[in-house]
Amino acid sequence: MTVGVFALSFLHSIHSLAQPSADKTTQIEVDLANEKGPLKPIWAWFGYDEPNYTYMKDGKKLLTEISKLSKVPVYVRVHSLLVTGDGEAALKWGSTNAYTEDANGKPVYNWTIVDKIFDTFIERGMKPIAQIGFMPQALSSKPEPYRHHWKPGDNYDDIYLGWAYPPKDYTKWSELVYQWVKHSVAKYGQKEVESWYWELWNEPNISYWKGTTEEYIKLYDYTADAVKRALPTAKMGGPEVTGPGSAGSQKFFKAFMDHVVNGKNYVTGKVGTPIDFITFHAKGAPKLVDGHVQMNMGTQLRDIDKGFDIVASYPSLKNLPIIIGESDPEGCAACSEDFSPQNAYRNGTMYSSYTAASFARKYDLAQSRGVNLAGAVTWAFEFEDQPWFRGFRDLATNGVDKPVLNVFRMFGMMPGTRVDVKSGLAYDYVRVRDESVRAEADINALASKDAKSAAVMVWNYHDDNVPAPNAPISVQVKGLPSKKITVHHYRVDKEFSNSYEVWKTMGSPKNPTPEQVAKLEKAGQLKEFSAPKPVTATGGETTLNFSLPRQGVSLLKFTWE
């Protein structure tokens, strides 16, 4: 049965099949003694199209919030770091004017805006994924027209102008890259820059790159050579293709990987080219069904799985770190709910529960393919000076955190060793990958521990955003120490950690008063569902019972001395 047929077969009975009976308790068993390897902070990676938002008021505020939620440095990926322009911020646009030429065609380098962006990251203990792109106007093989003025509702293809073309001079391009890396080492120090990731371009298998596959490969050779000449220990990677589930992406991805392993290098003439990490993208596909939003997590997981499969098929590259350079419920952060009603999931708890459930499955997919997943970039940030809760894919609106950011706060509180969550629940990663979540709800958990704590993240997710009764849940934790234990219960749902619901109770004000803004800011923080309480672990076991609303997420944090 195909996924489409499978989905359709359940639509007519969604209210009977997708809704558990209110008295059926979901049993979740966590065994702290059964370790499953490291719980890498793959969630501590974020990105966005508009680099100039970085140092604006709400951008700085949100970056501070993101940096504080993680015990490890957060990596940030942005577009347009070499684009020509005055630094004015706009949707799906950014510029730094890093490269221009004088009247005689001599390069002029200006790192002022690039440094301002990276300074904002580094001041907060964050790290750049330094994206080498897009093409400066003076180097573009088709420099006019260069800048777009896209807005939601416009044709998306309008954005691909002169910045998307190959260079007219690969040697000048190479020197630009070399000068940027050398400047970065001089400004920030070799040790700091060694911790960054340098990558070439974005989604070169579609119109972000107006050259051929072979021209991208040529550009990669010149770029990697320049990066390594400037700093031999720098980390260089690519190719940031779109979802490998599509035939076109697979073809491009494999051509690139074949060249990396066996191709003749355009610069050195030798076999192969340097690569230190591998990147691709993965997106879901929401749509409107019978007046409600229906997500498609399965589409995203199949993209991820195919990307892992391709990497695993190259023995010499299989163990390299993989960064899913954009990993999201759908593809266009700047396409607002106004013009794309299927994006109505973004303001409320559907985005947060999807995030919890999907990230847990990324760990499973990587383990099943035997690959080294280092990070999964959430392509969501903020959009400066836009209407409140407009329906962009963002983490905050006008400086107020949205529910989804609180799931990342939960991830940040989880210790570093993953432990077993007993199978036998309705969904595992294979079923979500193959069918998405179209029958009963996906009620499941991710758990981890260290020497003095343990955490269990529990979600109640469904692809269909329709009303459902709360789910009774019983979490049994085994392997606890015979010590005094305290449990904190954090929650994201309609009542907790949810600025959007509070804004709606205010009457959805277009211009909230200062007092309302303060209340919204408070509502946007992660809240405890109940007061901390001691628990007794008889024989190393304890059980917690609670009710979890549809699209809700709970974090149970156990601590002891």
Question: Could you give the residue numbers annotated as active site?
Answer: 203
Instruction: Report the interhelical angle of 57-68 vs 112-122 (nearest 10°).
Output: 40
Instruction: Show the 3-state SS of 12-30.
Output: CCHHHHCCCCCCCCEEEEE
Q: How far apart are CA 550 and CA 561, in angstroms?
A: 35
Beta-carbon contacts of 514 under 8 Å, excluding residues fewer than 6 positions away, are none
Q: How far apart are CA 523 and CA 400, in angstroms?
A: 9
Query: What does residue 543 show for φ and ψ, rounded to 5 degrees?
Result: -130, 135
Query: What does residue 140 show for φ and ψ, rounded to 5 degrees?
Result: -65, 140
Contact criterion met (CB below 8 Å) for 351 and 395: no
Beta-carbon contacts of 512 under 8 Å, excluding residues fewer than 6 positions away, are 388, 503, 506, 520
Angle at 220 between CA 216 and CA 221, to 5 degrees: 120
Q: Residue 463 is which amino acid?
A: D
Contact criterion met (CB below 8 Å) for 284 and 299: yes
3 state DSSP class of 314: coil
Long-range contacts of 250-255 (CB under 8 A, 24+ apart): 250/306, 250/310, 251/205, 251/213, 252/204, 252/205, 252/213, 252/216, 253/205, 253/280, 253/307, 253/310, 254/310, 255/213, 255/217
Nearest to 285 by CA among 2, 4, 1: 4
Q: How far apart are CA 216 and CA 201, in angstroms?
A: 9
Q: How far apart are CA 306 and CA 295, in angstroms?
A: 20
Angle at 438 between CA 436 and CA 442, to 5 degrees: 75
Longest dimension (CA), the chain: 80
DSSP string, 105-158: S-EEE--HHHHHHHHHHHTTT-EEEEEE----TTTBSS-SS------TTS-GGG
DSSP annotation of 90 reads: B
- How many CB atoms lie under 10 A from the CB of residue 505? 10
Q: Residue 26 is which amino acid?
A: T
- In the sheet that 75-78 helps form, which strands lie side by side, from edge to edge? 372-376, 321-328, 277-283, 235-241, 197-200, 127-132, 75-78, 45-48, 378-379
Question: Which residue is it, tokens 């990307």?
Answer: 307
Contact criterion met (CB below 8 Å) for 134 and 93: no
